[in-house]
Amino acid sequence: MKNSKIGLIIIAVIAVIAIILIGGYNSIISASEEVENKFSTIDTQLQRRADLIPNLVNTVKGYANQEKEIINTVTTAREKLVGANSVTAKAEADQELTNALSRLLVVVENYPELKSSQNFIQLSDELAGTENRIATARRDYNEAVKTYNLKIKKFPSNVMANMFGFGEKQYFEASEESKNVPNVQF
């Protein structure tokens, strides 16, 4: 009788530990999937912006063909963004493209006909909306990364994370070097 009670207690303890382990593992998996989902949203919005840029560049070319340097800078930055594969590479390419677009918009100020063009106005509005969606997606992604990273650092989930090789996720932020906006002089 005494042995059967001890056996039941051991089985109960093992069951509780198993439930905790399974729950912790599933919780980490859910948090990891949330990070991936949020990154996918950023990727979608970055692609949307990248798709707008050729039309914007062509519109600017039509009015300001002598501004080849800035147009090439925007085009090169777009290509880097489209080719970036990691979170860090995408963040840096995104910052570079944002800087190039800022320079392009400064150049546009010198061309009143371009600024009043319906096509340019529409593209600018779409680009501004996309920039807002990118900012929201970045914030949501970084919040999901924060939740995930905290989860894998706190006990008892950290034991599970170490056991199954879950590592920290990278925040979506550009390097300090790429955050520097170039000085534009005319």
**66 against 21, higher pLDDT:** 21
Confidence of residue 31 (pLDDT cuts 50, 70, 90): very high
pLDDT at site 35 = 95
pLDDT at site 179 = 46
**177 against 26, higher pLDDT:** 26
pLDDT at site 105 = 85
Task: Please choose, from the candidates 109, 43, 52, 48, the residue with its C-alpha nearest in 3D space to the C-alpha of residue 75.
Answer: 52
Q: 31: exposed, middle or buried (C-beta count within 10 Å: 0-12, 13-18, 19+)?
A: buried
Q: How far apart are CA 90 and CA 96, in angstroms?
A: 10
Backbone angles phi, psi at 37, to 5 degrees: -60, -45
Q: Which residue has the tokens 């905790």?
A: 20
Statement: residue 30 has pLDDT above 90:
yes
Give pTM, 2 decimals. 0.77
Confidence of residue 167 (pLDDT cuts 50, 70, 90): very high
pLDDT at site 178 = 45
- Domains detected in the chain: 2-179 (1.20.1440.20)
Task: Please choose, from the candidates 103, 131, 113, the residue with its C-alpha nearest in 3D space to the C-alpha of residue 59.
Answer: 113
Statement: residue 183 has pLDDT above 70:
no
pLDDT at site 175 = 57
Q: How far apart are CA 19 and CA 35, in angstroms?
A: 24
Task: Please choose, from the candidates 159, 146, 149, 147, the residue with its C-alpha nearest in 3D space to the C-alpha of residue 20.
Answer: 159
Percent of the chain with pLDDT over 70: 91
Task: Take residue 165 and report the two structure tokens written for it.
Answer: 């090789």
Confidence of residue 137 (pLDDT cuts 50, 70, 90): very high
Q: What is the pLDDT of residues 139-152, one digit of tens each?
A: 999 999 999 999 99
DSSP letters of 47-86?
HHHHHHHHHHHHHHHHH-TT-HHHHHHHHHHHHHHHH--S
Q: Is 125 left (phi over 0), alpha (psi -120 to 50) or beta?
A: alpha
Between 2-63 and 68-83, two packed helices, what is the crossing angle to 10 degrees? 160
Q: What is the pLDDT of residues 120-132, one digit of tens each?
A: 889 889 988 999 9
- Residue 57, Cβ neighbours under 10 Å: how many? 18
pLDDT at site 185 = 38
